[in-house]
Each structure stands twice: as structure tokens, then as C-alpha cells.
């Protein structure tokens, strides 16, 4: 498969690379595993190319990736876009002064943190995560980003679980893109 493949063919190819794992991390959850996509150089390149094409003309200055799988394509996108990379991590993983947000997951709650000095109000931010489910993690990340004064934010995902309605929870003011829908 080559990067020049038509987008419909490329998207079908990428979708075939993602596997569903039932009852993980707990019974009743169908976990969409992207590691099967990431291990293929061609699939990783195509996914990065497609996301890059969607945001290359937006003037992005920082890509904010959500731990942990959001770091993978988020880092690639930052490099390709000529932007800096900012990690949002789980509680207790960042060493400097940080801000935090507690949020609900589809199977519990969690806390995420970001360094307080990671962004400035002039930044144009692209928030990236591997998967959009209920939108809880995204909303918490948006709160962290907005608390730094940033006004221009877009969000992108490799996978969106449409039945869980996460996109509907994200305010319309934020451009939101997902490559694959399940």
C-alpha cells in the first residue's frame, strides 16, 4: 500500500489494521486496539499523512497528545507540522508545576495533568488522541488547554466510536476530525 492510495482505499486499509478485543479492560467493554496498525510502517505512514493533510494549513503551533497512545501520532504530527509537542499525562507523571482535571471514563474516573507553562495564549493547538469514545478525556483536556488562555483549538483522532456519542459532547467551536469510525 502506498501513501498515494486514494483516501477511501487508504481508510479501508487502515480500518482493517485495527482489531477489537472484547472484555478489555473489563467485561462488557470492546477495546479497539491500534497497536496492530502502528506496527505496520505503511499503515502508520498513511495515518500520519492523512492527519497531516487535514491540518497542514491551520497554523498549528503545538500538538497536545493525550497519554499514552496520543503521544505516538501526536509526536509525528508535531514534527510534520513544524509544531511543538505537549504531553497530557496521568496524575503524578509530570515533574514540574502542573494543572489537573478529574473526568469520567466509560468505565470509571481518572485525572490528567499538563505543565502549567506548556502553552501560551497565542498558541494554535491541535489536540490528538488515538480514540474518541464518550468524549470525557477530550473535554478534560480541552479544559486544561483553555485554562492557559489558548483560544484556537482543533481536535483529531485515529478512531471514533460513533455509537458512544463523544463528538456530540465536544463544543461545535472546535474543529473535530477522526480518520476511522467504528
Residues with active-site annotation: 69, 106
Q: In Å, how far are 1, 98, 100, 123, 180 from 7, measured between CA atoms?
A: 12, 40, 38, 30, 11
The C-alpha atoms of residue 51 and residue 115 are separated, in whole angstroms, by 25
**Residues contacting 139, CB < 8 A, separation 6+:** 103, 169, 170
Pair type for strands 124-132 and 108-115 = unpaired
Do the Cβ atoms of 153 and 121 come closer than 8 Å? no
Amino acid at each position: 500500500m502506498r501513501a498515494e492510495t486514494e483516501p477511501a482505499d487508504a481508510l479501508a486499509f487502515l480500518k482493517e489494521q485495527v482489531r477489537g478485543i472484547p472484555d478489555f479492560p473489563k467485561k462488557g467493554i470492546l477495546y479497539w486496539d491500534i497497536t496492530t496498525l502502528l506496527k505496520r510502517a505503511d499503515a502508520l505512514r498513511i495515518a500520519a499523512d492523512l492527519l497531516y493533510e487535514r491540518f497542514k494549513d491551520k497554523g498549528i503551533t503545538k500538538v497536545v497528545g493525550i497519554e499514552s497512545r496520543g503521544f505516538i501520532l501526536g509526536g509525528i504530527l508535531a514534527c510534520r507540522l513544524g509544531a511543538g509537542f505537549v504531553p497530557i499525562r496521568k496524575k503524578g507523571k509530570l515533574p514540574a508545576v502542573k494543572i489537573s482535571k478529574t473526568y469520567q471514563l466509560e468505565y470509571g474516573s481518572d485525572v490528567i495533568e499538563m505543565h502549567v507553562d506548556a502553552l501560551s495564549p497565542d498558541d494554535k493547538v491541535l489536540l490528538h488522541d488515538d480514540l474518541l469514545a464518550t468524549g470525557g478525556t477530550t473535554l478534560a483536556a480541552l479544559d486544561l488547554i483553555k485554562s492557559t488562555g489558548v483560544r484556537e483549538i482543533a481536535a483529531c483522532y485515529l478512531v471514533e466510536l460513533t455509537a458512544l456519542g463523544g463528538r456530540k459532547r465536544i463544543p461545535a467551536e472546535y474543529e473535530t476530525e477522526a480518520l476511522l469510525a467504528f
